[in-house]
Structure 1
Amino acid sequence: MKKLLFISAALSFFISCNNPKGESKKSTDTSGEEFHWNYPDENAVTKIINTNITIDDKDLISKLNTDFKKEKFKIDEVQTIKENSYPNCKENLILKFKGNGIKEYYVKRQEAKPKNYYPDFTMWIYEFKNEEETKIAEYEIQKAFNSGNGFCNGKSPEYIVRYKNKIIHLGTRAEMFRGYIKNYADKIEKLND
């Protein structure tokens, strides 16, 4: 009897989740506007935002390194990347940052906290020609992050902050490390004052 009940429950679950016509699964976000869970799809438009010709983040990294050392964090890896993209589920759009003004940092705590855990996060820095271009790019990336009820770009903790002519995207893999990236996001914002 238990087997039959389990099989019928599982079967009804699969049938209810099935989308035989291949129609777009629609939902509404917190503002009440519709969005599609299967966006971006093959009809998605790619919007390219060009970064600066080079990236000069020595000032920012120098300021952050002071805090990293106090809190036992260390930059383990640095990469210059040519592009990075973010989907926007509401507009069926792929926001693509391109150019030489992009760096990716992997930051990891050198001592366990809490016990047996080594908090880590990734920090992407996008540099633009001026603060006006940076504000436009920040607006676009925030729209992408907020689309799909904030889940279009995944469920992991993420923060987007601006520092002068740079956008800093902080992300970590675990909810338990959210406080660390929130702390650094707040510190970066205060550097603008």
Structure 2
Amino acid sequence: MYVVLLCGNDVESTLFKTNFRFFVKSVAHVYHSNWRADFLATKPHVKNRFKLTTAVRHYNSSDFIYPMILTVGSCLVHRNLKVARDRYNSSLIYVDILNMQYDELPPDRARDNRITARIACKHILQGVRRKRLLNQYFIEEVSEIIHIEWMKRNLNHPQKELMVPYDNLSHIEKSKDRKAVLIACRLYNELYLYYWFNTTPIYFTGRIIY
């Protein structure tokens, strides 16, 4: 048996990483939940949103029992109604991201939320530790970073109107990036994470645009 002893800075580093992962996951979870709520509010007639997943998942063939015509094509839908398989190509699996909680998403579909949440959490924690002035300018600064990193991950995105500098985005699109930052700030206080990271709570200065 091998016993690994963590001492001093190693303990602090491990604890920090654990706490930071919790922070990121909490933000990603709420960010996805908010996206679902906003999507349903603006498109109440849409009942599902199936997206291709590249994650290796194993489902019993007998569980795909409902033949349906979806936006992604003719499919057999799983009995849980959240997964579909192409009717003519069983290697193509789709997941309904609109009706899945964050924890239900396959890794490739959770990845984008997680990366966005990590950027927001990282810069907020740095800002608090460095005693930055947390105002609208700070929110826009982090939101711009989130958008730049999103574009890097989505070079072939079909909506070219999104592949522009942050300042040229519509208010609706900017608000999507801002939400990640604002959710992270809210959870930092609500979950008392300032105790975990040994900082002050977050206090905004001036008028904040959502």
TM-score normalized by the length of structure 2: 0.23
- Write 1 or 2 for the structure with the bigger share of strand: 1
- Write 1 or 2 for the structure with the bigger share of helix: 2
Q: Which has the higher contact order (CA 8 A, sep 6+)?
A: 2
TM-score normalized by the length of structure 1: 0.24
